[in-house]
Structure 1
């Protein structure tokens, strides 16, 4: 964030267009001929934060998901796979992935949109949700498997209680 380098952003707003005139950008912004890549020579703190907002949410989401996954694996290793703790941790991991994927994608989309709008104010694009949205299905599958495992644990406890 305190780097002295340029801040660059790519946009697909003008992907199929070749512009004869220059974009309505600031004097410090350099745009490629196809206008899909813009770089700001002396970015503001807000532009640096928006550039960081394009990477940081996915890194934090990945770190949190890996932490929850490692806790689940540790519970499997210590207590066995069919226990209440494993089922609960699998459900927590599933909800984290289900909610965290669109949330991180929305934050990245907002940051990207704001950065494009700050470099070419007239032509900024609206916020989009980026990232692999198929992870939402994987998260929901983990939540469902956690509930199935929880019922299996209860059934096993009932069988052990009657024997």
Structure 2
């Protein structure tokens, strides 16, 4: 086991989690303090020709060629919904990297096949497996609500966004954590009999 490589990987994961966290805080601060227009893209009428103008809320510009809606003076709720379409993924990434760095720290301190590493791998796996669809739901719901607030006739067209492969990777990590935990238990039983 190359502990130097694992230490370096843990340090990179910790640094990236700090970067993601700072990006989360910075983007939230900039977006909340910005008093300009907010825009959202929707695929509802991207390929359609509109005979009648689209029914949009006051102060909203709609472009059918770009499937884009822009609100000139958005409400606080619209600003929060705009944040909700991007910020959950930054927070999810920062927290996943923190859990990954903690797991690598346990590998360096105790070795790769220990109960602590198996538990931390399982926690990371459950976080990724459950957090991916939850984060996608929050981001998709926020974008859908924002679209519906600008063009009430369009409605919510996006419920879940994000990479579903992460859910499978998280479940694989849960399974590997369970296998490692069983291997640790078997090793401890074997050491107890010898």
**TM-score > 0.5 by shorter chain:** yes
Kept in 1: contact 2:46–2:64 (CA 8 A): no
For 2:90, which of 23, 35, 59 is the aligned residue?
A: 59
- State the 1:61 CA deviation: 0.8
Q: Tell me, which stretches of 5 or more residues in structure 2 are unaligned?
A: 1-31
Confirm or deny: 8 A CA contact 2:82 2:146 kept in the other structure.
yes
The structure with the greater share of residues assigned to helix is: 2
2:110 is equivalent to residue 85 of structure 1: no
Task: Describe the SS at the equivalent of 1:15.
Answer: coil
Q: Which residue of 1 aligns with 2:137?
A: 106
CA distance in 2, matches of 1:136, 1:121: 32
| Inter-partner Cα distance in structure 2 for 1:116 and 1:21 | 19
Query: Bigger shift: 13-22 or 46-55?
Result: 13-22
User: What TM-score do you get using the length of structure 1 for normalisation?
Assistant: 0.95
TM, length-normalised to structure 2? 0.80
Aligned mates of 2:54, 2:160 — CA distance in 1: 25
- Does structure 1 retain, via aligned residues, the 8 Å contact 2:88–2:138? yes
Q: Which residue of 1 aligns with 2:73?
A: 42
User: Equivalents in 1 of 2:157, 2:163: separation in Å?
Assistant: 19
Distance (whole Å) between structure 1 residues aligned to residue 44 and residue 158 of structure 2: 12
Q: Superposed, which structure 2 residues align to 1:5-154 within 5 Å? A: 5-34=36-65, 36-154=67-185
Alpha-carbon separation, structure 2, partners of 1:28 and 1:15: 21
How many residue pairs get matched?
Answer: 163
Q: CA deviation at 1:162?
A: 2.1
Q: Which runs of 5+ in 1 are unaligned?
A: none
Backbone CA RMSD of aligned residues:
1.2
